Amino acid sequence: MLYGTALYPADPFALMRRLSEDLDRAIGAPRPFPALNVWQNDEAAAITAELPGVDPADIDIQVKENVLTLSGERKAPELPEGAAWHRRERAFGRFTRAIRLPFRVDPEKVEARFADGVLRIAVGRPDADRPRRIEIKAA
């Protein structure tokens, strides 16, 4: 089998995940909060999390080994006296997301920034764990 082709994707479980996501959307299952994007290269990984309405002071980021845990709370707005909800589609309350990264994280190489409701986290790989190119010497 040739993984990475149209017939066999590089991630053999990608099709199963996509089917599960499609089924969740079809039956109206709630999406995990916050929504995340994760990318990586040989030196680092970056995580972006959509956190509209969350105060940065209410967000906790922890890293251990190769797991980054993002937790916090989105507080419900105060309603004026005598007011009642007409429609309430946004979720409020505590949240936790754990992201398993493809490498151990150097805790000294983690940086987080929050702007416009989006949290951006950069996590660096320890220098000793980075892939190294090995030179081939002539016999």
Query: Over the stretch 2-29, which tens digit does the pLDDT of each residue have?
Result: 545 555 556 667 777 777 777 777 776 6
Phi-psi region of 19 (alpha: psi -120 to 50; beta: other; left: phi over 0): alpha
Which residue positions in the chain have pLDDT lower than 50? 1, 3
Q: What is the pLDDT of residue 20?
A: 76
pTM: 0.70
Q: Looking at residue 4, what DSSP letter applies?
A: T
pLDDT at res. 98? 94
Alpha-carbon gap, residue 75 to 71, rounded angstroms: 13
- CA dist 84 and 73 (Å) reads 22
Write the CB contacts of 44 (distance below 8 Å, at least 6 apart in sequence).
109, 122, 123, 124, 125
Give the pLDDT of residue 133. Answer: 84
Domains of the chain with CATH codes = 1-31 (no CATH), 33-76+92-128 (2.60.40.790)
Alpha carbons 45 and 16: distance in angstroms, whole number: 24
